Amino acid sequence: MSNPMTANVPSDWYTDFFTELPNEFWRRAVPPEATASEVDFVCTRIDLAPRSRVLDVPCGSGRHTIALAARGHTVVGVDISTEAIGHARRAAADAGVDVDLVVAEMRDIPADGSFDAAICMGNSFGYLDPDGLHEFVTALAAAIRPGGGLVVDFSAAAESVLPGFVDDRPRDMTVGDITVSGSNTYDVVGSRLLSHYRFQRGTQVVEVTALHHVYTVAALRRLLADCGFTEIQQYGGPGGEPFTVGTGRLLLTARRR
């Protein structure tokens, strides 16, 4: 039987989750050196040529979009959060880079094969159920030219989540004047990880729940292959570490057939 907590989380939870307070917390929580190492990984592992055309989806507040543009690439960022896109536009202007930022659902991307590469960072690969994820990967394949690269960043692989998992283990994090309390529940029937957050800044409080569908590495590799990707590799971090059972983060690279 599923935990009652799972019953009230809509499948499109991500359309309303990413408002200013949660977004601002994660903007502050990720240090610049983490973005630099992730962009280094992207450029190195898929042999990104100078002045490539790159799709960043979903791009969030634009940290990878802007960093790639600063390295001379032409970047299109797509995200469903109007607040995040607004922040990204301001940050791009402050950084003096020209990027194309679009408010749209992650599956609503150009199917014209015009991109040399696409990246899906920040654990968003698990937002969608199996059918929705198949639609998304199919859309990515249509957006990327033959021979182009793909990088996926995912922290809800079964091999990452399940070893030693304990329901409702509370954790608190503070960045500046923003504090977040979080706890996780695993829905066995649906193979879904439910993460409940309480964000607080002064008297402002936002309580939201994120839902991540949990997929095995084998299932993700099959999906990528079925949708037209080859040369699929997995890593445990942007330093190229091996991915093993218990590794908290999965980075997948592939090439469009």
Of the two residues 7 and 124, the one the predictor is more confident about is: 124
Instruction: List Cβ neighbours of 187 (8 Å cut-off, separation of 6 or more).
Output: 2, 3, 6, 193, 194
User: Rounded distance, CA 194 to CA 43, Å?
Assistant: 32
Per-residue pLDDT of 88-116, as tens digits, reads: 999 999 999 999 999 999 999 999 999 99
How high does pLDDT run on average in the chain?
96
Per-residue pLDDT of 169-218, as tens digits, reads: 789 999 999 999 999 999 999 999 999 999 999 999 999 999 999 999 99
Angle between helix 130-143 and 217-226 (nearest 10): 50
Whether pLDDT at 2 is above 50: no
Burial class (CB in 10 A: 0-12, 13-18, 19+), 102: middle
Helices (H), the chain: 14-17, 20-29, 32-45, 63-70, 82-95, 130-143, 158-161, 217-226
Instruction: List Cβ neighbours of 95 (8 Å cut-off, separation of 6 or more).
Output: 66, 69, 70
- CB 145, CB 55: distance < 8 Å: no
User: Rounded distance, CA 166 to CA 250, Å?
Assistant: 20
pTM score, whole prediction: 0.95
CA angle in degrees (0–180, nearest 5) for 108-109-110: 130
- CB 183, CB 169: distance < 8 Å: yes
- Of the pLDDT bands very low, low, confident and very high (cuts 50, 70, 90), residue 1 is very low
**Rounded to the nearest 5°, which phi and psi values hold at 185?**
-130, 140
Per-residue pLDDT of 20-53, as tens digits, reads: 999 999 999 999 999 999 999 999 999 999 999 9
The encoded tokens of residue 51 equal: 């002045």
CA atoms 243, 44, 106, 143: torsion sign: negative
Please report the DSSP string for 178-220 in residue order: EEEEEEEEEETTTTEEEEEEEEEETTEEEEEEEEEE-B-HHHH
> Closest by alpha carbon to 88, among 127, 60, 53?
60
